[in-house]
């Protein structure tokens, strides 16, 4: 593949490696224990900023996930858990506990009672295809609008024709998968909404309408130097903007020229 692209044999000539979009992506702040600034919330693998873009290159990204999971967390998460020994037991009779348990039970029964003809896996694959086609590395407003509508239609079909084999009274991986796909259908639509709301190209988010004459990402720091935090609502997700303040570094656009 490399030889077809460059015309050079990598067995004879060293491969040319250049920074790609991975290097423009940061990650969640973590300390030396891989814990974020939210106590008890750990960010591991690709999602933390420990190696910045370097941990987002294929096999090395996989290796960081394995290393964090197998070798780092077993030693560092104990620091957090050691403080939990003094935490009192949660009261299962509290109003919040009862409400949460009831919501989960209702969701399980809803999924089990559909008794349709399609597996959760089939819906998952179809959702993935929509995300790939309309919310991939490059996306545009027309595609995002179409993709969102397709997800909404897929979610409606999911709740009419899902089939979950087995029982909810025992360990059921298909039921677990169905619950996750139900979440993914909401998250997928929210990603479409978020991508459509942000009218700029930044990092791994490339809007085809917002590019420089050379085809590079065109950022809009004046309007979008902020975090978009969303509250899910099936009809109209609510946006909370959190402005980013740069006190110790100067905000600049990355260029490889």
Kindly report, residue by residue over 128-151, the tens digit of the pLDDT. 999 999 999 899 999 999 999 999
Whether the pLDDT of residue 52 is over 60: the answer is no
Q: Is residue 31 part of a domain?
A: yes
Structural domain harbouring 82: 1-87
Structure tokens at 152: 């909404």
The DSSP line for 184-233 is: HHHHHHHHHHHHHH--S-BTTBEETTSB-TTS-B---HHHH-EEEEEE--
The DSSP element (H or E) to which 242 belongs, if any, is strand 238-243
Confidence of residue 173 (pLDDT cuts 50, 70, 90): very high
pLDDT at 182: 97
Q: How far apart are CA 232 and CA 114, in angstroms?
A: 24
Tell me what the mean pLDDT of segment 16-44 comes to: 80
Confidence of residue 207 (pLDDT cuts 50, 70, 90): very high
Q: How far apart are CA 109 and CA 120, in angstroms?
A: 15
Whether the pLDDT of residue 22 is over 90: the answer is no
Q: Is residue 81 part of a domain?
A: yes
Q: Is residue 182 part of a domain?
A: no
Q: Is residue 106 part of a domain?
A: no
Q: In the chain, what percentage of residues exceed pLDDT 70? A: 90
Q: Is residue 41 part of a domain?
A: yes
Which residues, in sequence order, are CB contacts of 65 under 8 Å at separation 6+?
Answer: 44, 45, 46
State the maximum Cα–Cα separation within the chain, in Å, rounded to a whole number: 70
Tell me what the mean pLDDT of segment 205-224 comes to: 89
Number of domain units in the chain:
1
Q: How far apart are CA 53 and CA 241, in angstroms?
A: 25
Q: How far apart are CA 203 and CA 24, in angstroms?
A: 5
44-78 b/e (C-beta count within 10 Å ≥ 16 → b): bbbbbebeebebbbeeebeebeeebeeebbeebbe
Distance of CA 155 to the CA centre of its chain: 19
Of 123 and 91, the structure prediction assigns the larger pLDDT to: 123
Q: Is residue 105 part of a domain?
A: no
């Amino acid at each position: 593949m490399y030889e077809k692209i460059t015309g050079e044999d990598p067995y004879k000539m060293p491969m040319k490696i250049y920074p790609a979009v991975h290097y423009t992506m940061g990650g969640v702040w973590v300390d030396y224990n891989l814990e974020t600034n939210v106590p008890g919330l750990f960010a591991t693998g690709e999602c933390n900023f420990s190696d910045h873009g370097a941990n987002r290159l294929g096999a090395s990204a996989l290796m960081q996930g394995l290393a964090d999971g197998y070798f780092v967390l077993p030693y560092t998460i104990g620091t957090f858990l050691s403080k939990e020994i003094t935490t009192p037991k949660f009261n299962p009779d509290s109003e919040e506990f009862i409400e949460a348990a009831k919501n989960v039970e209702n969701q399980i029964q809803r999924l089990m009672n559909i008794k349709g003809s399609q597996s959760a896996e089939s819906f998952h694959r179809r959702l993935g295809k929509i995300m790939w086609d309309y919310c991939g590395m490059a996306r545009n407003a027309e595609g995002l609008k179409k993709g969102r509508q397709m997800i909404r239609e897929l979610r409606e079909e999911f709740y009419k024709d899902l089939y979950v084999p087995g029982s909810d009274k025992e360990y059921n991986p298909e039921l677990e998968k169905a619950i996750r796909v139900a979440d993914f259908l909401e998250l997928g639509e929210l990603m479409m909404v978020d991508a459509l709301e942000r009218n700029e190209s930044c990092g791994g988010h490339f809007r085809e309408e917002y590019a420089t004459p050379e085809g590079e990402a065109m950022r809009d720091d004046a309007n979008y130097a902020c975090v978009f935090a969303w509250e899910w609502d099936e009809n109209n997700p609510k946006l909370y903007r959190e402005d980013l303040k740069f006190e110790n570094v100067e905000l600049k656009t990355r260029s490889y020229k």
